[in-house]
Amino acid sequence: MSDMRSLLIANRGEIAVRIIRSAQEMGLRTIAVYSELDRDALHVDLADEAWNIGPAPAAASYLNMDRIIEVAHEAKADAIHPGYGFLAENATFARKVIDAGIIWVGPPPDAIATMGDKIASRIAAAQAKVESVPGTLEPLGSVDDARAAAEKFGYPVAIKAAHGGGGKGLRIVNTEDELESAFEGARREADAYFGNPEVYVEKYLEFPRHIEAQILCDDHGHATFLGERDCSVQRRHQKLIEETPSPGLDEKTRTRLGKAAIAVAKACGYRSAGTVEFLMDRTGNFYFLEMNTRLQVEHTVTEMVTGIDIVQEQLKIAQGQPLSFDRVNTAGHAIEFRINAEDPARNFLPNPGRVVEYREPAGFGVRVDSWIRPGTKISQYYDNLMAKLVVWGPTRADAINRARRALGEFHIRGVATTIPVHIRVLEHPTFIEGKHHTRWAEDELDFGGIARPTAPALPEDEATAQREITVEIGGRRYLVTYWMPELQPASSGRRPAPRRKPPKLSQPVGNHSGEAGVVTAPMQGTIVKVNTAAGHRINAGEPICVLEAMKMENEVRSPIEGEVVDLRVRPGDTVSSGQVIAIIR
């Protein structure tokens, strides 16, 4: 067995906070890493020590493998936990950690590589006698290959990244006319997010449920199914709400699902926590979709009904210990709500900004995993997940009632959030009856009438004699307290606060700003594709370019019909909110 006394968490945000807390309860020394943008983040404050790993862009910090391992050596870390996202499913990073003599808190690199390749994972599932959604078993070489596969399986089909997940590099194709642009878009996004443009075709199941199985495997031959989660409330292939147990799933199907998940895990020599995802059709047949070789965002709902701390189990497994429980006992129903910085009133546009007011709900059966405090800045550089509200109740109806109350208490000002959407979902009879599917929220739920929140001006900092600053020595972060004499104003009385103009709201995607035909960027981001050129005519509603911000692609569309007389962006350009993109006459 490996001796673990200290743990470096190679991540940020709520998942870093969550891991730090469980590790500290086990008596481990916790080591945070942070980008220059995250100097004052909550995970940095909670950890026993913190180290700077680079500039704000993830490629220069949270994805910098060599720097993270260098810090691990300098901080004398015994182990590294990757959380989810960033390097969590990177087999190369896992191998580097192990080769550096550091404990890797995660599955074997070969298992990550097999399941990270969606085609290889489908082959492994077939070897385990678990049926996958019909699709190709080789990457597509061209649009013609994609067209041939689509004709074989029949429309609609999904073009999917072969080396990724989470809805990135995925396009749904309903007709042949959509195929070429979908193929190019999926390849571009796959290359941008996963460093590999390979894609494959899969039959698109209409109106399925998204059901996933949580498993834990140790080195002592124990592979345990902790129950399933229903993740069918989605938008743009991104999960919004997850719950366990899955509504309407009978015990016989649940048992078969658990056995299939364990079979897939054993087929790739799995160890640690993992999630095997399935799509279930209306007849109750389920098909292997993919395996996430990491801790899932929604692991919290499983913890709420089982009482098992999955992070602590991961840490024990990494040290060579067996699972700490003999059987899984579940009780009640749990639901998780992802509180994202998105504006539902503007087609769920990512909404970076500064949180002015923040108050979490509480009470029996309520859990909030978050990294937000008043003054926290939500940056375009990272994912827009602000918090996870998790509620538990003896029954699903009890959990829904508790969720309504908790969401009503959740108070955030400064940025728009998905809280109004969650409240609307809970009011809908389809969700209450448990009859929703993966397309339901996008196709059938009405988000009209959700108002944009207005943010108050940030209050001025009060002058105090005692102050704190953060300094770095040798790359390590230290908090220093110092005192200074109070400054007396030149005149008697308190200086009035300066007048502030109301915050200027950026324009919705595709809307013009000022005079008609002047198209501006709705937010700060990067131009990843340009769809037109100066001198070309364009129809109202046609895309001008694709803007990527906060790990989401957004099409900027023309508000009017006319000629593109001036196009001011090209792929790779970084634009600020309100910056002119094009002029159309």
Q: Which is nearest to 475 in space by CA: 5, 78, 32, 97?
A: 32
- Using 50, 70 and 90 to split pLDDT, how confident is the model at 204? confident
Among candidate residues 105, 124, 151, the one where a domain is terminated: 105
Q: Residue 482 has what pLDDT?
A: 66
**Domain termination site, one of 182, 203, 224:** 203
Q: What is the mean pLDDT of residues 470-491?
A: 64
pLDDT tens digit sequence for 228-246: 999 999 998 899 999 999 9
C-alpha–C-alpha distance, residues 22 and 309, integer Å? 8
- More confidently predicted of 75 and 488: 75
In a domain, residue 510? The reply is no
SS3 readout for 10-61:
CCCHHHHHHHHHHHHHCCCEEEEEEEHHHCCCHHHHHCCEEEEEECCCHHHC
Please check whether residues 86 and 151 belong to one and the same domain: no
**pLDDT digits 0-9 by tens, 297-317:** 999 999 999 999 999 999 999
Residue scoring higher pLDDT (548 or 309)? 309
Token pair of 477, please? 């972060």
Instruction: Give the model's pLDDT for residue 454.
Output: 62
- CATH code, 187: 3.30.1490.20
Check if the beta carbon of residue 412 is closer than 8 Å to that of residue 225: no
* Average confidence (pLDDT) over 415-423: 96
pLDDT at residue number 240: 97
- Give 426-449 pLDDT, tens digit per residue: 999 999 999 999 999 999 998 888
Residue 412 inside a domain? The answer is yes
Strand duo 209-217 + 349-350: pairing: unpaired
Sheet holding 199-203, edge to edge: 170-173, 157-161, 199-203
Looking at residue 525, its amino acid is: G
For the record, the structure tokens of 333 come out as 């129903």
> For position 483, what pLDDT does the model report?
57
The rounded percent of the chain whose pLDDT value lies above 70 is 90
- pLDDT for the residue numbered 528: 87
Q: Are residues 85 and 186 located together in one domain of the fold? A: no
**What is the spatial distance between Cα 293 and Cα 153, in angstroms, rounded to a whole number?**
28
More confident residue, 454 or 181: 181
- Cα separation of 254 and 250, whole Å? 6
Task: Give the tokens for residue 583.
Answer: 């002029």
pLDDT at 507 over 60: no
Pick the closest to residue 116 from 100, 92, 134 (CA basis): 92
Across 49-65, average pLDDT: 96
Residues 163, 96, single domain; the answer is no
Q: Which residue is associated with the tokens 């075709």?
A: 201
- Rg over CA atoms, the chain: 25
Residue 565 has pLDDT above 50, yes or no: yes
- Whether 476 is in a domain gets the answer no
Residue 555 forms part of a structural domain:
yes
Give the confidence band of 469 by pLDDT, cuts at 50, 70, 90: confident
End-to-end alpha-carbon separation of the chain, Å?
Answer: 71
For the residues 81-104, what does the mean pLDDT come to? 97
Measured torsion, CA atoms of residues 520, 521, 523, 528, in degrees rounded to the nearest 10: 180
For position 455, what pLDDT does the model report?
53
411-438 average pLDDT score: 96
Domain contains 413: yes
The whole-angstrom separation of Cα 478 and Cα 469 is 9
Closest CA to 438 of 207, 279, 173, 159: 207
263 and 409 part of one domain: yes
Whether the per-residue pLDDT at 551 is higher than 70: the answer is no
Q: Are residues 154 and 260 in the same domain?
A: no
pLDDT at residue 487 above 90?
no
Average pLDDT of the segment spanning 30-49: 97
Check pLDDT > 50 for residue 109: yes
Q: What is the spatial distance between Cα 513 and Cα 507, in angstroms, rounded to a whole number? A: 7
pLDDT of 446 reads 87
Please give the average per-residue pLDDT across 481-498, as a whole number: 45
Same domain as 404, residue 341 = yes
Asked if the structure places residue 482 within a domain, the reply is: no
Kindly state whether residues 194 and 335 are assigned to the same domain.
no
Reduce the DSSP state of residue 526 to 3 states and report it: strand
Same domain, 162 and 68: no
Average pLDDT, the chain: 89
Would residue 227 count as lying in a domain?
yes
pLDDT value of position 451: 78
97 within domain boundaries: yes
- Calculated CA dihedral for residues 53, 56, 57, 63, nearest 10 degrees: 20
Strand partners for 171 = 159
Most confidently modeled range among 188-192, 263-267, 568-572? 263-267
From 389, 408, 443, give the residue that closes a domain: 443
Give me the helix-helix angle, 251-267 and 118-127, nearest 10°: 110
Instruction: Name the more confident of 578 and 356.
Output: 356
CATH number of the CATH domain containing 553: 2.40.50.100
Q: How confident is the model at residue 500 (pLDDT cuts 50, 70, 90)?
A: very low
Q: Which pTM was predicted?
A: 0.80
Host domain of residue 379 = 209-443
Type of residue found at 184: E
pLDDT the model gives residue 497: 35
Burial 264-289 (b: 16+ CB within 10 A, else e): bbebbebbbbbbbbbbbeeeeebbbb
Whether residues 224 and 172 share a domain: the answer is no
Q: What is the DSSP letter of 194?
A: H
Q: Do 141 and 41 sit in the same domain of this protein?
A: no
Q: Based on the structure, what is the number of domains in the chain?
A: 4
In sequence order, which ranges of 176-248 are alpha helices (DSSP H)?
179-194
Q: Average pLDDT, stretch 155-174?
A: 85
Q: Are residues 407 and 548 located together in one domain of the fold?
A: no
Rounded Cα gap, residues 540 and 528, in angstroms = 21
Q: Indicate the angle between helix axes 143-153 and 179-194, nearest 10 degrees.
A: 110
Sheet with 272-280, strands from edge to edge, namely 286-292, 272-280, 209-217, 223-235, 238-244, 333-340, 385-393, 366-370
Lowest-pLDDT range, 5-19, 256-270, 464-478, 486-500? 486-500
Per-residue HEC secondary structure of 486-520 comes to: CCCCCCCCCCCCCCCCCCCCCCCCCCECCCCCEEE
pLDDT tens, residue by residue, 444-453: 998 888 877 7
Q: What's the confidence (pLDDT) of residue 292?
A: 96
User: What is the pLDDT confidence band of residue 182, given thresholds at 50, 70 and 90?
Assistant: very high
Looking at the structure, tell me whether residues 62 and 140 fall in a common domain.
no
CATH of the domain at 220: 3.30.470.20
Angle, to 10 degrees, between the axis of helix 396-409 and the axis of helix 419-427? Answer: 150
* Strand-pair partners of 201: 159
